Chain A
Amino acid sequence: MELFLGLITGFFFGFLLQKGQVLRFERQVGFMLLKDMTIIKFMATAVVVGMIGIYACHAAGLISLSLKATNVGAIVIGGLIFGVGWAIAGFCPGTSVGALAEGRFHALWAIFGMLVGAAAYAEIYPSLQSNILSWGNYGKITLPQVLGVSPWLVVAAWIIAVVAFFSWAEKKGL
Chain B
Amino acid sequence: MSLLRKASWSPYLAGALVGILAVLSVVVTTVVLDKGHYLGASTTFVRASGLMEQVVAPQHVAENAYFQSKKVKVDWQMLFVIGIFAGAFVSSRLGGSAKHETVPPIWRERFGDSAMKRGIGSFIGGAILLFGARMAGGCPSGHGMSGNMQLSVSSLLALVFFMVGGIITARLLYGKGGQ
- Interface size on B (CB < 8 Å)? 133
Nearest chain B residue, comparing its CB with the CB of A13 = B84
30 A-B residue pairs with Cβ-Cβ distance under 8 Å, sorted by A, are: A5-B37, A7-B86, A10-B81, A12-B87, A19-B6, A23-B88, A33-B174, A47-B145, A63-B30, A65-B152, A78-B158, A79-B136, A79-B162, A84-B132, A89-B126, A90-B104, A91-B126, A102-B92, A102-B99, A106-B101, A106-B104, A113-B130, A114-B126, A116-B123, A117-B126, A118-B48, A121-B131, A140-B154, A142-B152, A143-B153
**Does B112 sit at the interface, judged by CB under 8 A?**
no
Q: Is the CB–CB distance between A49 and B133 below 8 Å?
A: no
Mostly, the A contact residues are: helix
A8 to B81, CA, bound (A): 10
Contacts of B131 in A (CB 8 A): 78, 81, 85, 117-118, 120-121
Contacts of B170 in A (CB 8 A): 29, 32-33, 87
Contacts of B1-59 to chain A: CB distance below 8 A: 6, 8-23, 25-30, 32-33, 36-39, 41-42, 44-46, 48-50, 52-53
Mostly, the B contact residues are: helix
Nearest chain A residue, comparing its CB with the CB of B44 = A93
A6 to B118, CA, bound (A): 32
- Interface size on A (CB < 8 Å)? 129
Query: B: which residues have CB within 8 A of A?
Result: 6, 8-23, 25-30, 32-33, 36-39, 41-42, 44-46, 48-50, 52-53, 64-67, 74-92, 95, 97-107, 115, 118-171, 173-174, 176-177
Contacts of B120 in A (CB 8 A): 109
Contacts of B23 in A (CB 8 A): 49-50, 53-54, 57
**Does A74 sit at the interface, judged by CB under 8 A?**
yes
A77 to B158, CA, bound (A): 9
